[in-house]
């Protein structure tokens, strides 16, 4: 398994990272254990979760992904061999996430509560990478706004205040490193500025969506990732399954995330089907499974530190593993970029 340096740290992480957001609902604990065992055996010792998971988020399953990961690490006695990433929720109306109710915010008090609970859930006394799941300031998220830029006057909890709270956790040894998620170029640079000017922890990664249908990371953030060593932990590499083609022409396979939760809207835009058909044709031209092709496109980008994947069952996991055997070529790049030039980022 290829290893890559995580930001400006001494941590080397595998090129693939196991995402666990479906653990505890769509994926049972028994199946999750099988997945984690299989990944660990393949050298994938980088696990990503969050305080709000499982997804879709709801009070009765909040934190269950962390608890499943924690029980697995304890039973296998592998905590010292796992690189563990989790997240604190950004601003949201999910009152059930906090004992006092109200909005989740990136205040020192809420960050302290969230990390202590995550440590308990995960049965560990430290977290390798603690990420801000999304910003505190209001902004369009998860492809929900497609009508152009919206500027908000509300700047949220000051970045310096949030970063200082994270710095306290680093000093206490509860968190080793900090990262961002669902951030913008402006946000990343503000965090880097605050760390430089106030001797606060430096963010080492950014976890954003990135795939053949959404290459918006390349417009600004990719340069930052490479120049500032804030590498991308790419999520949704196959577009929540859309790039397999299974949802084309209104497809809704039983057991799929769309069938269970109806949460595929980010990949149901006017130009999405045309782009998906194009990428399926390219994959077929090169004799590659569409999932293998989409995965390896992401994994081979120079600004990607690790490619976060999810799998519903062991068969899907085997396809993910197979992606590592696909040799990515200049001809593949040219074919992908030609289609991207005609249909750019249909699902941002």
Calpha distance 117→123 (Å, rounded): 10
Q: Let me know if 247 is a catalytic residue.
A: no
Which residue in 23, 53, 130, 247 is the catalytic one? 53
Calpha distance 58→73 (Å, rounded): 24
The three-class DSSP label of residue 310 is coil
Strand pairing class (203-207; 175-181):
parallel
CA angle 143, 144, 150 (to 5 degrees): 100
DSSP of 2-31: -EEE-TTSS-EEESEEEE-TTBTTTB-HHH
Q: Which residues pair with 47 in a beta bridge?
A: 18, 84
Give every CB contact of residue 210 below 8 A, 6+ residues apart in sequence: 217, 232, 234, 235, 236, 237, 298, 301, 304
Calpha distance 34→32 (Å, rounded): 5
Cβ–Cβ under 8 Å, residues 31 and 238:
no
Calpha distance 98→87 (Å, rounded): 15
Give me the residue label for tokens 């809704």. Answer: 252
Calpha distance 268→81 (Å, rounded): 39
Cβ–Cβ under 8 Å, residues 210 and 184:
no
DSSP of 261-306: H---GGG-STTHHHHHHHHHHHHHHTT--HHHHHHHHHHT-TTEEE
**Active site (catalytic) residues:** 53
């Amino acid at each position: 398994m290829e290893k890559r340096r995580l930001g400006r740290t001494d941590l080397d992480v595998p090129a693939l990272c196991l995402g666990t957001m479906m653990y505890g609902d769509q994926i049972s604990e028994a199946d999750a254990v099988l997945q984690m065992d299989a990944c660990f055996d393949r050298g994938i010792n980088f696990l990503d979760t969050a305080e709000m998971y499982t997804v879709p988020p709801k009070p009765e399953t909040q934190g269950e992904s962390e608890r499943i990961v924690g029980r697995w690490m304890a039973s296998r006695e592998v905590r010292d061999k796992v690189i563990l990433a989790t997240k604190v929720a950004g601003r949201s109306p999910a009152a059930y996430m906090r004992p006092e109710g109200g909005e989740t915010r990136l205040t020192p008090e809420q960050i302290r509560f969230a990390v202590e609970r995550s440590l308990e859930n995960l049965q560990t006394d430290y977290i390798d990478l603690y990420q801000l799941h999304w910003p505190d300031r209001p902004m369009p998220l998860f492809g929900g706004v497609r009508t152009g830029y919206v500027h908000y006057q509300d700047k949220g909890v000051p970045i310096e205040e949030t970063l200082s709270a994270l710095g306290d956790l680093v000093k206490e040894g509860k968190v080793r490193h900090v990262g961002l998620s669902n951030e913008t170029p402006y946000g990343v640079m503000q965090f880097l500025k605050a760390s430089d000017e106030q001797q606060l922890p430096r963010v080492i990664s950014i976890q954003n969506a990135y795939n053949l249908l959404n290459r918006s990371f390349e417009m600004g953030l990719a340069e930052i990732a490479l120049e500032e060593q804030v590498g991308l932990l790419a999520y949704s590499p196959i577009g929540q399954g859309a790039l397999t083609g299974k949802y084309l022409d209104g497809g809704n396979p039983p057991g799929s995330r769309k069938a269970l939760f109806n949460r595929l809207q980010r990949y149901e835009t006017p130009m999405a089907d045309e782009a998906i058909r194009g990428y399926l044709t390219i994959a077929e031209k090169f004799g590659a499974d569409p999932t293998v092709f989409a995965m390896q496109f992401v994994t081979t980008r120079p600004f990607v530190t690790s490619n976060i994947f999810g799998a519903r069952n062991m068969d899907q996991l085997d396809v993910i593993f197979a992606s590592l055997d696909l040799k990515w070529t200049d001809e593949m790049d040219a074919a992908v970029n030609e289609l991207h030039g005609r249909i750019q980022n249909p699902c941002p």
